Amino acid sequence: MAKYLLLKHYRHSGPKPVPGTEAMMDQWTPDEITAHIEYMGRFAEKLTESGEYVSGDALSPEGTFVRYDGAGRPPVTDGPFAETKDLIAGWMIIDVESQERAYEAAAELSAAPGAGGRPIHEWLEVRPFLADPGATAE
């Protein structure tokens, strides 16, 4: 099994959306948002049943940069960011048998409904976790 991060993006950047799916979530009706979130929940339940779900969550668009700058002095700033607060909408971690299965799961997640109940065909970033360098193959 290998863990993968399925990274959901806001549409402010990244590949061009499928025509007819350009409406951002802040332009959806409350019912469309509810349908989208319910789809995400059902998808997580399906992966839980197959033993592939690890965790996931949606992210707020708010964020802050913090760094260590000496004892008791953590400077905090609202930017400049690497645009993640405008980019990353949420994430899901899955533990699957292969990269192909990770792609299959991401493709299904991409079909979550959006405006008008139509699949949003969103681009998902699929990133493998680094393998433990101390692990040995058996």
Measured between alpha carbons, how far is residue 21 from residues 15, 16, 34, 119 in Å?
13, 10, 17, 8
Consecutive 10-residue averages of pLDDT for the chain (138 residues): 84 68 82 92 95 89 68 67 63 93 92 89 86 56
pTM for the whole structure: 0.74
Q: At what angle do helices 30-49 and 99-109 cross, to 10 degrees?
A: 150
Nearest to 43 by CA among 98, 113, 100: 113
